[in-house]
């Protein structure tokens, strides 16, 4: 469970959002909605612990107890347009590097992961030679196949064509499981599975 209490974030003197009090429950799916530039990606990054809030609190907890904020990264995975891949590595090397930090879901091997996102023929190609769509499929694979209870998806269909968007939806249906999923988006195809809708405009 992730609990925000009167949480706010500003850059310099401009508040991006304020007084956010929300609880994200295990097994539920949430969408943070708003137009481009409204701050929904910033809110997602604050929830994930990637950037620090300026006011209020965020608490991460399990039935066993509270998780320290600097330990939460072990419990989550994120796919986002602004996250860079290591372009000097091949896809196979990148997956092996990722697996030093997070395990894949049971029954997902590196070969199976590449096959599921249609990149098995590119295993030995350097990431720098990937198209933008191939890079996005890679980011989705690394996040969705990670064996973690919380999944953050920031505009997950960025750079994907219609086939890639359909693949994303299939991956969520097949591998979303009983995880807490939070999506930042303004495209209904990206948050099709979300029952709970949060509008960033309510916290301006």
Q: Where are the domains of the chain?
A: 2-203
The percent of residues in the chain predicted with pLDDT above 90, rounded, is 98
111-137 mean pLDDT: 98
Say how many C-beta atoms besides its own lie within 10 A of residue 164's C-beta. 20
* Mean pLDDT over the full length of the chain: 96
Share in percent of the chain as helix, strand, coil (round to 5): 35, 30, 35
Q: Looking at residue 83, what is its pLDDT? A: 93
pLDDT in tens, 9-30: 999 999 999 999 999 999 999 9
Strands (E), the chain: 2-11, 14-24, 29-33, 55-62, 65-67, 76-79, 150-154, 180-185, 196-199
Cα–Cα distance for residue pair 6/14, rounded to 1 Å: 17
pLDDT in tens, 75-101: 999 999 999 999 999 999 999 999 999
58 pLDDT higher than 90: yes
Cα–Cα distance for residue pair 149/5, rounded to 1 Å: 22
Q: Looking at residue 99, what is its pLDDT? A: 97
CATH no., domain 2-203: 3.40.50.300
67 pLDDT higher than 90: yes
Q: Looking at residue 189, what is its pLDDT? A: 97
pLDDT in tens, 160-178: 999 999 999 999 999 999 9
Are 105 and 148 in contact by the 8 Å Cβ rule? The answer is no
Q: Looking at residue 150, what is its pLDDT? A: 98
CA angle 2, 143, 19 (to 5 degrees): 30
For residue 22, list its beta bridge partners: 4
The per-residue DSSP string of 77-90 comes to EEE-TTPPP-TTSB
Cα–Cα distance for residue pair 136/26, rounded to 1 Å: 26
142: helix, strand or coil: helix
What secondary structure letter does DSSP report for 176?
-
Burial of 121 (0-12, 13-18, 19+ CB in 10 A): exposed
63 pLDDT higher than 90: no
Strands (E), 1-94: 2-11, 14-24, 29-33, 55-62, 65-67, 76-79
């Amino acid at each position: 469970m992730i609990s925000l209490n009167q949480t706010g974030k500003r850059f310099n003197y401009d508040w991006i959002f304020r007084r956010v009090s929300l609880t994200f429950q295990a097994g539920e799916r949430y969408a943070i909605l708003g137009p481009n530039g409204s701050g929904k990606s910033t809110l997602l990054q604050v929830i994930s612990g990637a950037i620090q809030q300026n006011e209020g609190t965020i608490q991460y907890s399990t039935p066993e107890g509270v998780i320290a904020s600097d330990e939460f990264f072990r419990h989550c995975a994120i796919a986002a347009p602004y996250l860079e891949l290591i372009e000097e590595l091949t896809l196979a090397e990148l997956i092996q590097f990722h697996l030093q930090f997070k395990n894949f879901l049971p029954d997902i091997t590196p070969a199976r992961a590449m096959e599921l996102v249609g990149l098995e023929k590119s295993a030995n190609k350097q990431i720098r030679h990937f198209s933008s769509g191939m890079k996005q499929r890679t980011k989705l694979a690394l996040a969705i196949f990670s064996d973690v209870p919380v999944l953050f998806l920031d505009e997950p269909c960025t750079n994907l064509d219609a086939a890639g968007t359909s693949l994303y939806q299939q991956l969520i249906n097949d591998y979303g499981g009983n995880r807490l999923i939070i999506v930042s988006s303004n495209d209904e195809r990206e948050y099709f599975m979300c029952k709970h809708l949060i509008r960033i405009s309510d916290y301006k």
